[in-house]
Amino acid sequence: MTRRLAFEPAARETYLELRKDPEAALYLAVRRALTELVDNPGSRDVRRLRYRPDTWGVPVRCGDVRWLILWRQHDDDPDLIEVHHVGPAPGEA
């Protein structure tokens, strides 16, 4: 089983921007969350928030910063995880 992530364009752009500073605490927190998502998409940690019947949210905290990763499993390929949003949580700048 080889799970993989497929990012929506805006989510991909945000993640690639974070990767420019691989030592940044926020990048490391987002990366940990994405790694957990790929390793165990059934985990309670990556399914903390439910936005639709098939869309989940992973809160990411880094100090006072609150971000959110929105994702869902692809309908036809259970090993493909679609990442729709990587960025500030609702209400955050």
pLDDT, tens digit (0-9, with 9 covering 90-100), for 79-93: 999 999 999 998 886
62 occurs within a structural domain: yes
Asked if residue 93 is part of any domain, the answer here is no
Does residue 92 form part of some domain? Answer: no
68 within some domain: yes
Q: Residue 19: is its pLDDT beyond 90?
A: yes
Residue 93 confidence (pLDDT): 67
Q: Considering only 8-12, 27-31, 60-64, which range has the smallest mean pLDDT?
A: 60-64
**pLDDT(1) > 70:** no
Q: How many domains does the chain have?
A: 1
Residue 13 within a domain:
yes
Rounded to the nearest angstrom, the gap between the alpha carbon of residue 34 and the centroid of all alpha carbons in its chain is 5
**Domain that residue 57 falls in:** 4-87
17 inside domain: yes
Give the pLDDT mean for 27-53: 92
- Look at residues 52, 58, 88 and name the one whose alpha carbon lies nearest to residue 70: 58
